[in-house]
Structure 1
């Protein structure tokens, strides 16, 4: 059972769905992987060559970790070695929307490139 606030997870799921217009969802999607203490925002793309099979590629964009003790969310970015690092330009927040807004702004190009 997840220790994440269900309402916050639902907010992140809505944010992911809103990132891509309906008419483009056969080309790209933004999805959410949910774990016990964090959610990972993932960009998904269809196979670009038939010989690669039918599976979409999944590229982690950001991770939001939840600390149940404090009730705060923290934002992480993924480095070139596929490890998540704390994003130091946004403090931990009780509002998951504040951190999603930072991912949207992406002032350093670290999330969306």
Structure 2
């Protein structure tokens, strides 16, 4: 009888250890990431594309995913999320890993490590890399390239400053003449 109880408590101890190994995003960090992604996904460029192409996000236990919301058979109000980028929180090192989603011909796909910037302690640094997309893993695959650029010449000045404000690359300048908030780019 004692052996059975000891076996059960060892099993319970093993399960408790496994539960402790599950990494979760700390609550404060999760709140900050949620606010950043909310602001980033709301800045669709140009605003006229807001009803045709949507990007969104979801936050799970240990990662955040940015996805494109694609209409199902073109029917308004129906959307299917298509993953684009994943930011994984690694509790052991207290940093973020960065992945992109690669679709296969069979309509399945897998996450691949983004090699130019594999991980960072700063979530916003990875979000900036996602926005820049120097390798073309993210924005080249979205149906609405208008999310990235206002025209073939690139982002307009107004949209560029709005994105830079969300990414922490623009600072607010108080305009005393017309009481409007103006932003100045602070990129090097």
SS of 2:139's partner is coil
TM-score normalised by the chain length of structure 1:
0.82
CA-atom RMSD, angstroms?
2.2
Aligned residue number for residue 106 of structure 1: 133
- Any stretches of 5+ residues in structure 1 without a counterpart? none
* Mapping of residues 1-113 of structure 1, within 5 Å: 3-4=24-25, 5=29, 6-50=31-75, 54-81=77-104, 82-113=109-140
**Structure 2 segments unaligned to the other structure (5+ residues):** 1-22, 141-188
Name the structure, 1 or 2, with higher relative contact order (CA <8 Å, separation 6+): 1
| Structure 1 ranges of 4+ moved more than 6 A | none
Question: In the alignment, is the contact (CA less than 8 A) between 1:20 and 1:30 conserved in 2?
Answer: no
| Largest Rg, 1 or 2 | 2
Matched residues, number: 110
What CA distance in whole angstroms lies between the structure 2 residues aligned with 1:9 and 1:68?
18
Counterpart Cα distance in 2 of 1:20 and 1:100: 16
Residues 63, 77 of structure 1: 8 Å contact kept: yes
Q: Look up the SS of the partner of 2:96 in the other structure.
A: strand
Give the structure-2-normalised TM-score. Answer: 0.52
